[in-house]
Amino acid sequence: MDTSAARVHEQIRARLAAAVGADAADLGRIAEEAALRLHRSGQEPDFEVRSADFATDPFFVCADRYWRQRFADRPSSDTALACARWIAAHTAAGCRSAVREQWALGNGFINRSHLETREQLDEAARGMAEVPGAADLALTMLLYHAGKLRANFAFDDLNAVLTTSALAAAAGPHRDEPVVLALRSFAAFGSRVLTAEHARELLDRAWTAPHRSRHVVDVCLNGLAFSVPFDGQGDLLRRLAQEAVDSHPDDHMFRFRLATAHHLCADHDEALAHVDAALAMLARQGTFSRELLLEQYLVKRDAVQEARLRAAREAEHEARWRRQDAANADLEQAMHRSSVRAVELVAVFTSAIAFAVGSLQITLSGTLKLRERLWLLTALGAGLAVFALLIIGGTWLITRRRSRS
């Protein structure tokens, strides 16, 4: 390194060291200026990154902005390989996995429109077969390409790259890393070929892995949210998202996933409350992809509002139908009672008319004595009364059975 380059690096280190403890806005501005200066001069950062904290570590933020510029200029596997080598040489062991996942998946999402072919990826994997630490380098490149496929919801292509590609083979034992298992579960949940049982098995392995990272949690919840529908999807997402929110109460993405879970469970009031909380957190944090996330959150909020209004209308219609059914039942019973009364009335009138006609014939014709005529009238009246009572009793018995049924 020549004298001028060394001076630049020394000035940048001093500037970043002075930014420690600054508020988020000043820290981000200072780190952005330092990253731009390095990128324009064609020099990589020469300092060590000891954390993956965007809020308090200006060295990490500067390196993050620098590699974002590098990937934006050339979003290829060559840049991913250069980034992987820098991570291996300039990050502390305790934060290396977190930095790798942040940069590989994050830059894959940002550069999702630039996809390399399977042949290009296989060629890149073969080119580093004998390189020391090849498995770590291959893992970074694998996650970078997986981040692109995940962002494009290319579920089956993602599963193929993670399981059968030369990059996956070069990653060796890293294929069982929780982040890789989480990405495989994401691919399986969205695939129309793989089963939900297989996806849940991968999810359980990733979720229960010791020291799972924030990105593992995010990918697992993302896969559940965009899964092909299956029984219990909403309840499972709600349980895991609530666990994530309890562990990371200030994470707007996990709050958004919880809102999605309540939306799937048709709990619209809770969904609306959580998506509003996610929007408030996003406004306070102001991440790089804020505008994209803001649009996504607002779309979900509109969907929740629409579902909430639709549910209210459906409840109103159902109540109206219930009232109408009750009114119809009352009307049916009233008509039924009226028809019974009509039958009874007809029976009484028929008996009365028959008695009147019969009594006139007995009274006005024949040579019977008065006592005999009175006995005939009494017998006729009793017979007709019994007839009317039989009709009324039979009608009551029949309608009583129908009412019970």
**pTM to 2 decimal places:** 0.77
Range with lowest mean pLDDT among 109-113, 233-237, 339-343, 395-399: 339-343
pLDDT at 374: 67
pLDDT at 329: 72
pLDDT at 176: 92
Q: Does 376 map to a domain?
A: yes
DSSP E strands, 79-176: none
- Residue carrying structure tokens 């009317």: 388
Q: Does 138 map to a domain?
A: no
Task: Render pLDDT for 143-164 as a digit per residue (tens, 0 to 9).
Answer: 999 999 999 999 999 999 999 9
Q: Does 356 map to a domain?
A: yes
Domain ranges, residue 360? 340-404
Q: How far apart are CA 320 and CA 32, in angstroms?
A: 61
Name the residue among 111, 89, 102 with its Cα closest to residue 45.
Answer: 89
CB-CB contact of 115 with 168 (8 Å): no
Q: Does 377 map to a domain?
A: yes
Task: Render pLDDT for 344-357 as a digit per residue (tens, 0 to 9).
Answer: 566 565 656 655 55
Please tell me the total count of domains within the chain. Answer: 1
DSSP E strands, 298-377: none
- Residue carrying structure tokens 């403890």: 21
Mean predicted confidence (pLDDT) in 330-351: 64
- Residue carrying structure tokens 């919840």: 221
Q: Does 399 map to a domain?
A: yes
Q: Could you count the other beta carbons within 10 Å of the beta carbon of residue 372?
A: 12
CA 175 to chain centre: 27
Residue 370 has pLDDT above 70, yes or no: no
Mean predicted confidence (pLDDT) in 29-54: 92
User: Within 208-289, where are the H helices?
Assistant: 214-225, 233-247, 252-264, 268-285
Task: Render pLDDT for 57-79 as a digit per residue (tens, 0 to 9).
Answer: 999 999 999 999 999 999 999 99
327: confidence class by pLDDT, cuts 50, 70, 90? confident
pLDDT at 38: 93
Structure tokens at 190: 């969205």
Q: Could you count the other beta carbons within 10 Å of the beta carbon of residue 72?
A: 14
How would you label 285-299 residue by residue, b for 16+ Cβ within 10 Å and e otherwise? eeeeeeeebeeebee
